Structures are given as structure tokens and as C-alpha cells.
Structure 1
Amino acid sequence: MIGYPEAPKAWWLTRGMARISGVNLPRAVVEGWLQRDELEDLVTRCAACRRSADCEAWLARSASASSMPGFCPNKARIEALVS
């Protein structure tokens, strides 16, 4: 399993946001369309974000959302993986 034991909350939030867009991050790395260092950048950017509480609340109520919230610093990069 690909994960980030040093930043578990950021990993969980990044993975949750990616799921909203239909992206499975571990599978993306295994299948080669996302490099491990790119995934690390996503998790690092999430860990540096000061809106993790907003993110958690948004994920908790947005299971059926079709797009990520505008405040997510990884929005553009994750959504680019879909196209």
C-alpha cells in the first residue's frame, strides 16, 4: 500500500479529494501515470495547507460531489489526472 506514515492526515485528505474526481492515487502510481515524486508533492502541498479542517468537513458531507472544492491547493493537479 502506498501511503505516507509521516503525514497520515495529509495522505488521507489528498486521497479523499482525489476520489471525488475519480482518481485512485495508489493505482495511478502502480499503473505509471503518476510518478511517486508527483504523489509526494501532492501530499506535501496538502500538509502545508492551512485549511485541513475545512477539507475534512467538506469531505464528510460531500461523498456524492462531482468536483473538488476551489480552496484545495491540489485541485488543478488532481483534476488534470482525469483528462
Structure 2
Amino acid sequence: MRPLGPERDHYWLALSMAKAAGVDLQAAIDNGLFSQEKWAATVRRCRGCDWGGDCPHWLREHPEADQAPETCVNHKLFSALKAEQEAARANGSSET
């Protein structure tokens, strides 16, 4: 098992990746779609990601994207949150 990366660095990487993928994490937390515990797990997964060294470069090249790259360990999570937020917007809900 490889050592985990620095928590602070991966906090910002995960937050930046979610934003680039069009996910509003604070709105997801506010609306009960995402919890602080899930956020901690998201950062922890990021810290152990083998692709972490390439992530900052990808984020510089893709400040906005349809989704996180499949190489991101949080790709499925961010895709699911984005789909839930888009569905809520389409239904006219305030859950964005």
C-alpha cells in the first residue's frame, strides 16, 4: 500500500475536481445529498489515488469539464452528485 498524500493538498484537489466536473459540494451538503463524513472519505480516497500526481496538470488544462476523468478515484461519486443536482434543477427543486 502506498503512503497517503498530504491531507491539505488532496482536500484542495478533490474540491477542485468536483468544481471542474460541475458539482456544487456545498449545495450537496446543504441539501442532504452529501455529508461531512462522505467528504472526509472523498478526500481520503484522493490521498491514496495513484493518479494524484497527474491531477493538478489535468485540472489546469480542464478548469471546466463534463465530468471528472475516469482515472479519478472519485469519478463515480462526482458523476452521481452532478446527476442528482441536474435532476433537481430540471424538476424545479431548490436542491442544486
Aligned to 1:67: 67
Q: Which has the larger radius of gyration?
A: 2
Say if 1:22 and 1:82, in contact at 8 Å, map to a contact too: yes
Check the 8 A contact 2:22/2:65 in 1, yes or no. Answer: no
1:69 and 1:75 in contact (8 A); partners too: yes
Identity of aligned residues (%): 29
TM-score by length of 2: 0.72
The count of residues paired between Structure 1 and Structure 2 equals 78
Q: CA deviation at 1:7?
A: 1.1
Alpha-carbon distance change, 33 to 56 in structure 1, aligned in 2, over 3 angstroms:
same
Deviation per CA, 1:22-65, whole angstroms, max 9, x where unpaired?
11223322332201111111100000112212101100111132
Deviation, structure 1 residue 82: 1.4
Task: Return the TM-score normalized by structure 1.
Answer: 0.82
Q: Read off the aligned partner of 1:17 and give its amino acid letter.
A: M
* Structure 1 residue ranges (4+ consecutive) displaced by more than 2 angstroms after TM superposition: none
- C-alpha contact 2:20 2:63 (8 A) present in aligned 1: yes
Measured on the aligned residues, the alpha-carbon RMSD in Å equals: 1.5
Q: Secondary structure at the match of 1:10?
A: helix
Gaps of 5+ in 2: 1-5, 84-96
